[in-house]
Amino acid sequence: MTGTPPRKRSQGRAAAIGLTKAQVLKAAIDLVDELGAEAFSIRELSRRLDVYPTAIYWHLGGSKADLFSEMTATITSDLMRPGEFCADWRDTLRELFRRYRRAAQRHPHLANLIGAQVSANGPRHAGLAEIVLAALRQAGYDGQPLADAMSALVGGIFGFVTMELAPQAPGARPDWAESFSAALDDLPEAEFPETRRAMPLLRNRAFVLRWSSGAEVPLDSAFEMLVDSLIAGLELRRAGAMAAWEAAGAAPGRRG
Amino acid sequence: MTGTPPRKRSQGRAAAIGLTKAQVLKAAIDLVDELGAEAFSIRELSRRLDVYPTAIYWHLGGSKADLFSEMTATITSDLMRPGEFCADWRDTLRELFRRYRRAAQRHPHLANLIGAQVSANGPRHAGLAEIVLAALRQAGYDGQPLADAMSALVGGIFGFVTMELAPQAPGARPDWAESFSAALDDLPEAEFPETRRAMPLLRNRAFVLRWSSGAEVPLDSAFEMLVDSLIAGLELRRAGAMAAWEAAGAAPGRRG
DNA sequence: ACCTGAACACCGTTCAAGT
DNA sequence: ACCTGAACACCGTTCAAGT
C-alpha cells in the first residue's frame, strides 16, 4: 500500500507538475486550518497536492517542524508597519496586540503553536519586538526593566491568546463536553463557594471552567482587561523598577 | 516485528504482572519529563513497563489524549490548601502563581501542555480558580469584571509560563541555535534600532529573541514584573470596571 | 531541477484470545 | 480481572532512480 500513487493522474507520467514552495506553504496552512495541527500530516498534504510525499520534502528542504515554524511566521508578518506608531505608547501597544489577536483568530490552530514551540517564536517576529521596545522606551523604560517589561507583555498577552485558542484534544471522548459540564455542577458548595456563586458568568466563558476553544467562544472582555491592566500596571511600576535597577548598578549586561 | 514481546520475560508466561493505574501514570510522567511530549509514545511507555501496549490501554480506559490530561492535572493538584490564604489578596495571588510556576518548572514538558490543550485545563483545576476568585472578590471585584479579571490573570500568567517552557521543536535542524544567534546579529540597525540597542540584555533572555527554552534559561525577573504589574493594574482599574458594569445593567448572565 | 517509487522504522488503537 | 498476540491503518523520513 505504501507506493499507491496519490490519485489517478495521466498514467505513470512523471515529473514537471510545477509545484512551488509558496503553493506547498499555502496548502499546508489550509490543511492545518481544517484539521488542526495534531491531525496535520505531510502525507495528507501530499495527497491534496496530488504528489508523492517526497515531493514535499524536496521543496521544503527541511522537516515537518521547520514547516510549522514557517507557517506560524506568516501570522505575525506585517502586523504593523514601522512608521505606524500612535502618538501615545499605550495606544501603540493596545493596537499592536489587538491586531495580533485578530490575526491569530484567523488561524487558531497555528496561533496556538506560537506559544507552544520556541522555534515558532524566533527572529522572524523581530519587527514585533522592535515596536514593543520602542513603545516601552517612550514610556520611560530602559535597561533590565525594559527587557523584563517586554517579555512580560509578549509572554502575558501572546500566552493568553495561545491558551484562549487551545484546541480540544483531538482524541478525547465524544461525551467529554457533557461530563465537563456535569463536573461543574457537582462542585461542592462548601469547598467552592465563589466558583458556584459566579458560575452563570463563568460557565464555558472563563479559563479552567470552559470546554470550548476560544475559536468558538472568544474571551473578548477578558482580553481587553488583560491588555488594559497590564499596560496600566507597567506605567504605574515604571518609576520604582527603574530606580531599583539604577541603584543596583545599572550596567548593561549585568543582572538587576 | 509487530508482536515482538517487550523484553525477554519468563518465557510465554502471561498475565498477572500486577501493574496498577498509578504506576502507569507515574511511568508516563517520567517518560514525558525525559523525552518531551512530542516524542512520548504509548509503545515506548509499554516497553519501559515491560508489557504489551494493549496492557496500558486496559488500565487507562481511554486514549493517549486522556492520559495527557491526567498527567497535567497532577501539576496543579494541591498547589494551595483552601485555608491557606494570605491576609492581603495581592499576596495570595502572588504566592499562588509563584507556586504554580515552581510546580511547572519541575515538569516543563507537561506544563507547556496546560496552555496548549483545553482538556488539560478543566475542572480538575477548579481549586485554583476558587482561590483566584476569592482573592479578587476581596479586592472588590464582582460580576462580569470578576469573571474577566479571573481569566485575565489565569490566561496571562499560565500563558506566560506555557510560552516560557515551550520546548525547542524536537525535529529541528541541529544548527538551529547558531543560525538563530547569527540572525540576531544581522538585524539591520536602521530597521531595528531599539532591539539592537538592548541586545546585550535581550539575547537569549527575552521572548522572540531567545533560542533556549525557559527550562534552561528561566525568565525570572520578567515573570515577577508580569505578576506585579498585572495585580497593580487590576487594583487600579477596579473602580472603573465595576462602575461601567453596574451602569450597564449589572444583571448576572448578561454581558457588560 | 523536479518528481516517482520503494522501503525502513516507527506510531495509536481495536479485537480476539488466553489464564 | 488482567494481560498476550496479532492485526489494521496510518505516520515521518531517507535513498535511489527516473525524466
Domains and CATH numbers, chain A: 10-62 (1.10.10.60), 75-167+215-254 (1.10.357)
Tell me the average pLDDT across A131-145: 97
Confidence of residue B10 (pLDDT cuts 50, 70, 90): very low
| DSSP letter assigned to residue A119 | G
Query: Rounded to an integer, what distance in angstroms lies between the CA atom of residue B131 and that of residue B137?
Result: 10
Give, in Å, how far the C1' of C2 lies from the CA of A67.
Answer: 19
Position A192, amino acid = F
A55: the nucleotide nearest its CA (via C1') is C3
Q: What is the mean pLDDT of chain B?
A: 88
CA distances from B13 to B8, B9, B112 (A): 10, 8, 40
Compute φ and ψ for A67, nearest 5 degrees: -60, -45
Residues of B in Cβ contact (< 8 Å) with A170: 65
B154 touches B96 (CB < 8 A): no
Residue of B nearest to A137 (CA): B194
The pLDDT of residue A173 = 63
Portion 2-61 of A in contact with B at CB < 8 A: none
State pTM to two decimals.
0.91
Whether the per-residue pLDDT at B3 is higher than 60: the answer is no
- Which of A141, A150, A219 would best serve as a mutation to test chain B binding (most B beta carbons within 10 A)? A150
Position B140, amino acid = G
B55-59 long-range contacts, CB within 8 A, separation 24+? B55/B17, B55/B19, B56/B24, B59/B19, B59/B20, B59/B21, B59/B24
List the grid coordinates of B251.
Answer: 444583571
Q: Contact A148/B225, CB-based, under 8 Å? A: yes
Residues of B in Cβ contact (< 8 Å) with A161: 159
Query: Rounded to an integer, what distance in angstroms lies between the CA atom of residue B183 and that of residue B186?
Result: 5
CA A256, B195, A65 angle in degrees (round to 5)?
Answer: 100
pLDDT tens, residue by residue, A61-74? 999 999 998 999 88
Chain C bases under 7 Å from protein CB?
A: 1-8, 10-16, 18-19
The pLDDT of residue A250 = 73
Contact between the CB of A38 and strand C at under 7 Å: no
Residues of A in Cβ contact (< 8 Å) with B219: 151, 155
How many CA atoms are closer than 13 Å to the CA of B13, on its beta-carbon side?
A: 10
A43: the nucleotide nearest its CA (via C1') is D11
| B69 or B230, which is more confident | B230
pLDDT tens, residue by residue, B99-134? 999 999 999 999 988 888 776 667 778 889 999 999
Tell me the average pLDDT across A147-156: 98
Query: Rounded to an integer, what distance in angstroms lies between the CA atom of residue B212 and that of residue A144?
Result: 19
| DSSP letter assigned to residue B172 | S
CA distances from A23 to A26, A73, B121 (A): 5, 16, 36
Which range, of A66-80, B16-30, B38-52, B237-251, averages the lowest pLDDT? A66-80
Which range, of A6-20, A39-53, A98-112, B1-15, averages the lowest pLDDT? B1-15
